[in-house]
Amino acid sequence: MKQAAVILLVMVLATGATFADILTFDAADDFLLSNPNGAWSYGSTASPGSAFGRFTSTSTAFFGTGILAHNTSGTSFNMPAVFKNPNATTTTVFGTLFMAAGSLAMHPGNVSPTFTVTRWTAPQTGDFNIFGGFSGAASATTDVHLLHNGASIFSDNINGLGDTALFSQTVSFSSEDTLDFVVGDGGNGFGSDSTGLNAQITSIVPEPATYALFGLVSICIFALRNRHRAPLKFE
Ligand SMILES: [Ca+2]
C-alpha cells in the first residue's frame, strides 16, 4: 500500500510537471470582435504604460469591406483602433493601405487616449517566447512598444510603408501579467499611421533537465513494480 502511494505520487509529479500543454497564441489568427477575447483584449492608453481603457465599440466594415475592428466611437475616424482583414484576399483601403489576407493592424488616434493597445494577459505562470514585429502598413510614422506590466521591454519607430520593427525574446510571466503591444503616432500626428502587428506567443517547452527527472521517475516506477512481482519458480 505504501509503495502504491509512492508510485501514485511520482506519477502525478511526472505528468504534472513534465507534460504541461504547450500554449500558443497568435494576435492575428486569434482576433475576434469579443473584448476581452480569451487572453487578448484591445484598448487604448494616454501614454505607454498608463491606465488601460478597453475599447467598447466594434465595426464589421472598418476601413473597407469586411474589415473587423475594435475602436473608439465618437472620435475622428473612430481612432484609435485594432483591426483585421478576415478576407481571403488583400484588401486595399484608401488606395494606400494594403492589408494582406488575415493580417492585423493598429492605428493610433488623434484625441487622447491616442495610443492603441493589443493586450495579452498571461494565463499561467511561466516563460514564454514572444516573436514577431510591427510593420508600416501605409506611410506610417509611428512609435511602437512592448510593455510587460507597463514597463518597456522593446521600443522602436516605424517610418513608411514596409519599414519593420522586429522582436524576439523570452519573458518570464506570472499568471495575469500583461504584455502590451502599443502603437503611438510618432509625435507627428496620426495620418496614415496604420501599423501591422504580427505577434506569436508560445510557452517554453520543458527543459532537458525536466526530461531527465522524468526518466529517473520512470526508472523508480519500473523498479518498484518489479520488486513486488512474484519471482519465477522453477520446479
Ligand atoms: Ca504619425
Say what the pLDDT of residue 77 is. Answer: 73
Number of domains composing the chain: 2
For ligand 1, the distance from its centroid to the CA atom of residue 81, given in whole angstroms, is: 14
For ligand 1, the distance from its centroid to the CA atom of residue 131, given in whole angstroms, is: 25
Closest by alpha carbon to 182, among 80, 75, 62?
Answer: 80
For ligand 1, the distance from its centroid to the CA atom of residue 161, given in whole angstroms, is: 12
Q: Judge if 82 and 171 occupy the same domain.
A: yes
For ligand 1, the distance from its centroid to the CA atom of residue 181, given in whole angstroms, is: 17
Output the DSSP codes for 30-93: T--SSSSBTTEEEEEESSTTS--EE--EEESSTTSTT-EEEE-TTSGGG-SEEEE--SSS-EEE
For ligand 1, the distance from its centroid to the CA atom of residue 196, given in whole angstroms, is: 14
For ligand 1, the distance from its centroid to the CA atom of residue 193, given in whole angstroms, is: 5
User: Could you give the angle at the alpha carbon of 88 between the alpha carbons of 86 and 92, nearest 5°?
Assistant: 75
For ligand 1, the distance from its centroid to the CA atom of residue 116, given in whole angstroms, is: 13
Q: Which CATH number fits the domain that encloses residue 137?
A: 2.60.120
Say what the pLDDT of residue 5 is. Answer: 43
Say what the pLDDT of residue 7 is. Answer: 43
Say what the pLDDT of residue 188 is. Answer: 96
Q: Judge if 67 and 5 occupy the same domain.
A: no
CB-CB neighbours of 3 under 10 Å = 11
Q: Is 95 exposed, middle or buried (0-12, 13-18, 19+ CB in 10 A)?
A: exposed
Q: Judge if 3 and 40 occupy the same domain.
A: no
For ligand 1, the distance from its centroid to the CA atom of residue 125, given in whole angstroms, is: 36
Cell of 83: 483591426
Total-model pTM: 0.81
Say what the pLDDT of residue 109 is. Answer: 94
For ligand 1, the distance from its centroid to the CA atom of residue 205, given in whole angstroms, is: 39
Say what the pLDDT of residue 30 is. Answer: 98
Strand 91-93 and strand 115-121: the pairing is unpaired
Q: Is the dihedral of CA 105, 162, 166, 90 positive or negative?
A: positive
| Residue 135, domain extent | 24-205
Average pLDDT of each block of 10 consecutive residues along the chain (235 residues)? 45 48 96 97 98 94 84 81 94 80 95 96 97 94 98 98 96 98 97 95 75 52 49 40
Q: Label residues 35-67 b or e (16+ Cβ within 10 Å = b).
A: beeeebbbbbbeebbeebeebeebbeebbeeeb
For ligand 1, the distance from its centroid to the CA atom of residue 140, given in whole angstroms, is: 6
Q: Judge if 16 and 113 occupy the same domain.
A: no
- Asked if the structure places residue 122 within a domain, the reply is yes
For ligand 1, the distance from its centroid to the CA atom of residue 204, given in whole angstroms, is: 36
For ligand 1, the distance from its centroid to the CA atom of residue 109, given in whole angstroms, is: 10
- Asked if the structure places residue 134 within a domain, the reply is yes
- Asked if the structure places residue 75 within a domain, the reply is yes
Say what the pLDDT of residue 182 is. Answer: 98
Q: Judge if 119 and 220 occupy the same domain.
A: no
- Asked if the structure places residue 132 within a domain, the reply is yes
Say what the pLDDT of residue 155 is. Answer: 98
Residue 217 sits at φ, ψ, to 5 deg, of -60, -45
Q: Judge if 114 and 138 occupy the same domain.
A: yes
